[in-house]
Amino acid sequence: MKFDVSFLQPRLEQIPVYAAAAEAFGFDGFWVAETSSDPFLNLALAAEHTSKLALGTAIAVAFPRSPAILAYTAWDLQRFSRGRFVLGLGPQVKAHNVLRFGIKWEKPVKKMRETIEAIRAFWDCWQNGTRLDYVGEFFKLALMTPFFDPGPIDYPPPPIYIAAVNEQMLRLAGSHCDGVHIHALHSASYLRDVAMPIIESGLAHNGKKRSDFSVNTAVFVIPTNDPAEARAAEDHVRQQLSFYMSTPSYKPVLAHHGWGDVSDRLGQMARAGEWEAMKRLITDEMLDTFAVTGRWGQLPEIIHARYGDLLDRVSYYLPFEPGGHDTGWRNTIDGFKRVNHG
User: Which residue(s) pair with 336 in the sheet?
Assistant: none
Residue 341 has what pLDDT?
A: 86
What is the distance between the alpha carbons of residues 108 and 296, in angstroms, rounded to a whole number?
39
Residue 93 has what pLDDT?
A: 87
Beta strand spans in 148-247 (E): 160-163, 179-182, 214-223
Among 313, 2, 30, smallest CA distance to 179 is for 313
Residue 342 has what pLDDT?
A: 73
Residue 331 has what pLDDT?
A: 96
Residue 269 has what pLDDT?
A: 96
> pLDDT tens string for the chain (342 positions)?
999 999 988 899 999 999 999 999 999 999 999 999 999 999 999 999 999 999 999 999 999 999 999 999 999 999 999 999 999 999 998 999 999 999 999 999 999 999 999 999 999 999 999 999 999 999 999 999 999 999 999 999 999 999 999 999 999 999 999 999 999 999 999 999 999 999 999 999 999 999 999 999 999 999 999 999 999 999 999 999 999 999 888 999 999 999 999 999 999 999 999 999 999 999 999 999 999 999 999 999 999 999 999 999 999 999 999 998 999 999 999 999 999 987
For 27, 96, 166, 288, the CA distances from 233, given in Å and listed in that order, are: 22, 29, 29, 14
**DSSP label at residue 191:** I
What is the distance between the alpha carbons of residues 241 and 246, in angstroms, rounded to a whole number?
8
In order of start, what are the domains of the chain with their CATH numbers?
Answer: 2-221+294-341 (3.20.20.30), 226-293 (no CATH)
Residue 280 has what pLDDT?
A: 95
The rounded mean pLDDT for the chain is 96
Residue 337 has what pLDDT?
A: 95
What is the distance between the alpha carbons of residues 101 and 330, in angstroms, rounded to a whole number?
39
Phi, psi of 187 (to 5 degrees): -135, 160
Containing 292, the helix (H) or strand (E) segment is strand 291-294
